[in-house]
Amino acid sequence: MAFRIQPKSLLRLSSRVTTQPRATSLAPRWSRTYATPTMEQQNRTAIVTGSSRGIGQAIALRLAHDGYDICITDVEANKAGVDDMVSQIKDIGRNAIGVTGDVSRLDEVQRMVQTSVDELGPLNTMVANAGIAQVKALLDLTEQDLKRMFEVNVFGVFNCYSTAAKQMIKQGSGGKLLGAASIVAFKPFALLSHYSASKWAVRGMTQAFAMEMAEHKITVNAYAPGIVGTAMWDLIDEELGKKKGAKKGDTIKKYSSELIALGRTSVPEDVAKTVSYLSSPDSDYMTGQTIVIDGGIIFT
């Protein structure tokens, strides 16, 4: 049965309906602020430790292409590489300075940060990349082996995080803290026990810093490379080969074919691309994470 409304009833009904004026614009419910300013807002600066070669070098070059002015740092023994990197970055059209020092020494890290701020301007991003590795069986490790590994890989990251954070808090504009972890921060490798332990510590410290720095608009994340074609992994390959009777290069080839889903060893630029993202405003809602870049060894 059809239901019909008489025209007079419809008129009476419509007269009771009140209409609200249509909004021509909606006021924003929240405002977006970046921990790291865009190029259009101001020049950005970054410190990259251990950046005279390897992954650190690739990171520094990528960040320079992204619009950063860079403070290149490494130990005194690598000063020639530091100077060369400064020249390369200036050729790109960005400003750069070189500072040598040992990240395991807090006073030297403090000097690095102060020099960078004095020469380049306010610090936006700290990349605590410097690290060491050693291939040695657990029962052969000495107290000094363990101590030096943690001095560089753990104390070094803490020194960089804490010193940069204090500078960023003083500036009052937030920032980015990034640390070098590794796939061994998720699954240790045999004969790399103390190296693995140091990278687990970096992962945990990154999470702890992320919690405490959030109120200051400072994000804290780590990147975890896999098997990379660098001098460090050449050493690991050589030493593992000695232990297992393999020729130089065979261990890396075996790992690449059997462990890496994508079937190739990483190059430093693979890691630098991820660090570029972690250094950009696009990652401002990410903190406390350790991002694996290993071609498919560890799945999280």
Q: Determine the Cα–Cα distance for residues 38 and 36; give it in Å rounded to an integer.
A: 7
Burial of 240 (0-12, 13-18, 19+ CB in 10 A): buried
pLDDT for the residue 234: 76
How many CB atoms are located within 10 Å of the residue 9 CB?
A: 10
Q: Of 103, 104, 97, 93, whose CA–CA distance to 123 is shortest?
A: 97
pTM score, whole prediction = 0.84
**Which entry of 68, 195, 223, 255 is annotated as an active-site residue?**
195
pLDDT digits (tens, 9 = 90+) for 133-145: 998 889 999 999 9
Q: Which pairing describes strands 175-180 and 44-49: parallel, antiparallel, or unpaired?
A: unpaired
Domain ranges of the chain: 40-226+267-293
pLDDT digits (tens, 9 = 90+) for 152-167: 999 999 999 999 999 9
pLDDT for the residue 15: 44
Greatest C-alpha distance within the chain: 99
Q: What's the token pair of residue 49?
A: 């430790």
C-alpha distances in Å from residue 247, one per residue of 14, 82, 129 = 89, 32, 30
Percent of the chain whose predicted confidence (pLDDT) is above 90: 71
pLDDT for the residue 39: 52
**Res. 250: pLDDT tops 80:** no
pLDDT for the residue 245: 78
pLDDT digits (tens, 9 = 90+) for 17-71: 444 444 444 444 433 444 555 555 468 999 999 999 999 999 999 999 999 999 9
195 is catalytic: yes
pLDDT digits (tens, 9 = 90+) for 273-282: 999 999 999 9
Burial of 22 (0-12, 13-18, 19+ CB in 10 A): exposed
**Res. 3: pLDDT tops 60:** no
Q: Determine the Cα–Cα distance for residues 283 and 208; give it in Å rounded to an integer.
A: 18
CATH homologous superfamily, domain 40-226+267-293 = NAD(P)-binding Rossmann-like Domain (3.40.50.720)
Arithmetic mean of pLDDT, 249-262: 80
**Which entry of 68, 199, 223, 255 is annotated as an active-site residue?**
199
